Amino acid sequence: MNRRPKVPVLPGAEPYRHEGGEAGVLLCHGFTGSPQSLRPWAERLAAHGLTVSLPLLPGHGTRWEDMQLTGWQDWYAEVDRELRALRERCGEVFVAGLSMGGTLALRLAAKHGDAVSGVIIVNPANKMHGAAAHALPVVRHLVPSTKGIASDIAKEGSEELGYDRVPLHAAHALRNLFRQVDRELPQVTQPLLLLRSPQDHVVPPADSARILGRVSSRDVTEILLEQSYHVATLDHDADRIFEESLAFIGRLAPSVGKEGTAAGG
């Protein structure tokens, strides 16, 4: 079988890893995005002594045509592998994500149970909205891509490194992922921190409401990010996200206070 030559990863879209202490965090980036959108968050967690993994999802971080060859099972398999690797070297592991990355994090929590100590999600996506979603099964065979969704950010001068086109085969796969994870949400029992932007031009508030209504978690915190749009991790509320997630992890993982946040914060 002839395979295309491998396209180099865009500068800034590389995966990020940091070897830290006994508590680990797996960060999952969003659909058509890259690790760049979560890199400042990953670096803040690492600076506080945490072990951090921020993988690049298959088909991402190169060119949008590469995403046409991937599906949600590929994206999930990547974060599932990373979680298992973190579990081998960390006593406690937390999963976190932005947008579709939040959807993947919720699936990891549903599937891995007690192996995941807590979930942190920012503007998580749960459903593909609008009439166009219903046409995807057919349209994806006729039209390769549509306008991109990257860089929904309020902060002047801040940009997300993501594709300027959305490949429709991948969008169809994303729709199937949302349906799959929606069914699995009642299996999520871990402490949950959900941070969302009331002004989000990509994912509506209904998605967060649906997630909060369907998970079985009892320890749930919802925080509004009033100054930010969808990619809040690169927006005005980024520091708030970083600090709230550190406090959440510190509360649930006693080792963090001893080796990370107490000394670094």
* Residues labelled as active-site residues: 99, 200, 230
Q: Are 153 and 137 in contact (CB under 8 A)?
A: no
Whole-angstrom distance, CA of residue 178 vs CA of residue 171: 11
Which residues is 131 bridged to in the sheet?
Answer: none
> CB count, 10 Å around CB of 124?
27
Answer for the pair 203, 99: CB distance below 8 angstroms, yes or no: yes
Which DSSP symbol is given to 121?
E
| Residues 255 and 21 sit within 8 Å (Cβ to Cβ) | yes
3-state DSSP: the chain helix, strand, coil percent, rounded to 5? 45, 15, 40
Kindly state the tokens that stand for 222: 């919802």
Identify the CA nearest to 23 among candidates 91, 69, 83.
91
